[in-house]
Amino acid sequence: MLLRRIATGRGAAVTALAAAAVAACLALGWWQWERSRPLADVLAAAPVPTEQVVPARGRLLAVDQGRPVTLIGQWRPDRQLLVADRRDPAGSGRTGRWVVTAVRVTEPADMLIPVVRGWVGTGRSPQDVPAPPAGRVSLTGWVQASEPLDNRADLVQPPGVAPLLGAADLVNRWPEDVADVFVIAAAAGAEGRDVAVGTESAMPGPVQVAAGTRDWRNVMYAVQWVVFAAAAGVVWWLAMHDLVPLPGGTGRTGSPGGPGRTETTAGDAPRERRHDEREVAP
Amino acid sequence: MTEDTPRADPRSRTGHLSDGGPAPGAERSRRLVGALLRFRVIAWIVGVFLLVLTVGVVLRYTDWLGYRTDVVSRTVSPVHGFGYMVYLATGIDLAVRRGWRIRTTLGVLLAGTVPLLSFVAERWVTRDVRRVVSAGAAAGPA
């Protein structure tokens, strides 16, 4: 029955309209589902001073993974290395290395914080990558917990190249205290003009972001949009029975879906059996 | 709602009642009245929430009252969303029992999204359904 109604011009128009409404509701529901991810919340947070989230000892809290931070300290050009096996942030597909230079901070303790400040191809020798000049630096970036030692990293690397980026490796290279975090610098700002010196590609974005709980509000909005889509479907079903006469002569058949509804009123004049409010003439 | 013709003779509707139209018997009248009550309750709740939400959105995006806050809108909008879900369900239920044309049904359902209009719709719906129910009573038990 429904198929025959859809096949009419009017039925097709009503169906197309309803399909658009359902699609819009589902798209909005998907949008809210995506918005509910905590990813956006952590990354969208205003930068906090590094010492607020980096402990003097111990690990970064999971909820602070990927949090934007402002880092103020002194460049240590003599504490620079490359980190192996990194994809080109610009998306060329090439594998290269991160350029990492330490920044010495005094808060929350006197220690070095490694800063990822760019990417170079594998062809560049570590000695050829210039370091930023010693002195004060102020930059923004994303704070990340140290990468763990694991057997996926190729531990055999040339001098000046680290297999991974983490305090577990760096304590063997640098005599100073090293924070158990690193910071991936954002695009260089006014005071961070030295950040990208000597690098070849775009700045790497944050790699690990806190996997907190979803925002329950957006989850609920998503559920609601799905229900609204279902309601649009029901209204479409009602509209098909109300507006589209069956090609064969049958028109609207009583109250659609209601008790006592009859589909077989063939022979009745379709238009005259409608109980439209407007037809209750005064 | 230009279709609203309260002065119409209710018995002029009886021509279609045998066709499964509204309110031929006491049982269906009773169910229709129940559906109306459910709709009216949720229409009022949604209407009030929508007014509060409107204030909340203004507070969130403008400097009305001199400061901005999203507390009101963040609190009310999820609740209002669920209220509107129930509004849709009761509205469709009532529309099917009452046998409205689709444009009336759509108008009533969408009126729940416009501040203040839901109150107008609720009044119109109440009068419309009561008229039909009293028509059924006048026609006597089926």
Residue A133 main-chain phi, psi, to 5 deg: -65, 145
Residue A221, chain B, CB below 8 Å: the answer is yes
Dist. CA B121–CA B108, nearest whole Å? 6
Are the CB atoms for B97 and B136 separated by under 8 Å? Answer: no
Give the chain B residue nearest A278 (alpha carbons): B3
Residue A44, chain B, CB below 8 Å: the answer is no
Residue B32 C-alpha from the chain's centroid: 13
Hey, are the CB atoms on B21 and A254 less than 8 Å from each other?
yes
Hey, are the CB atoms on B22 and A254 less than 8 Å from each other?
no
Dist. CA A131–CA A143, nearest whole Å? 21
Hey, are the CB atoms on A224 and B88 less than 8 Å from each other?
no
A interface test, pick of B17, B101, B110 with most A CB neighbours within 10 Å: B101
Helix (H, G, I), strand (E, B) or coil at B134: helix
**CB proximity list for A216: less than 8 A, separation 6 or greater:** A36, B78
Segments of chain B scoring below 70 in pLDDT: 1-24, 66-68, 139-142
Q: How far is B27 from chain A (nearest CA, A)?
A: 11
Give the chain B residue nearest A234 (alpha carbons): B92
Chain B stretch 52-81, residues whose beta carbon is closer than 8 A to a beta carbon of chain A: 74, 77-78, 81
Q: In chain B, pLDDT over 90 holds for what percent of residues?
A: 53
Residue A156, chain B, CB below 8 Å: the answer is no
For residue A280, give the nearest of B5, B74, B106 by CB distance. Answer: B5
Q: How far is B101 from chain A (nearest CA, A)?
A: 6
Residue B106 main-chain phi, psi, to 5 deg: -60, -40
How much is the pLDDT for B6? 43
In terms of DSSP H, where are the helices of chain A?
A: 2-6, 9-35, 38-44, 50-53, 167-170, 216-243
Residue A265, chain B, CB below 8 Å: the answer is yes
How much is the pLDDT for A271? 37
How much is the pLDDT for A182? 94
Give the chain A residue nearest B23 (alpha carbons): A259
Residue B88, chain A, CB below 8 Å: the answer is yes
Q: How far is B65 from chain A (nearest CA, A)?
A: 26
For residue B7, give the nearest of A216, A243, A282 by CB distance. Answer: A282
**Predicted-complex ipTM score:** 0.77
Question: Cβ–Cβ contacts within 10 Å for residue B111, how many?
Answer: 23
Hey, are the CB atoms on B99 and A235 less than 8 Å from each other?
no
Helix (H, G, I), strand (E, B) or coil at A14: helix
**Cα–Cα nearest to A189, from A203, A201, A208, A209:** A203
> For residue B93, which residues of chain A lie inside 8 Å, CB to CB?
none
Hey, are the CB atoms on B20 and A261 less than 8 Å from each other?
yes
Helix (H, G, I), strand (E, B) or coil at A106: coil
Q: What is the pLDDT along chain A (282 residues), one digit of tens a residue?
A: 788 888 888 889 999 999 999 999 999 999 988 877 765 577 778 889 999 888 877 778 777 888 899 999 999 999 999 999 888 888 888 889 999 999 999 988 899 999 999 899 888 888 888 888 888 888 889 999 998 877 667 778 888 999 999 998 999 999 999 999 999 998 655 555 677 777 877 778 777 776 666 778 888 999 999 999 999 999 999 999 888 877 665 444 444 444 433 333 333 333 333 444 333 333
B interface test, pick of A10, A224, A243, A277 with most B CB neighbours within 10 Å: A277
Hey, are the CB atoms on A262 and B104 less than 8 Å from each other?
no
Helix (H, G, I), strand (E, B) or coil at A235: helix
> Where do the DSSP E strands lie in A35-185?
48-49, 68-87, 95-105, 111-121, 135-145, 161-162, 181-185
Helix (H, G, I), strand (E, B) or coil at A18: helix
**CB proximity list for A114: less than 8 A, separation 6 or greater:** A100, A101, A102, A103, A165, A170, A178, A179, A182, A183
Q: How far is B94 from chain A (nearest CA, A)?
A: 10
Q: How far is B102 from chain A (nearest CA, A)?
A: 5
Dist. CA A110–CA B72, nearest whole Å? 45
Residue A65 main-chain phi, psi, to 5 deg: -60, 120
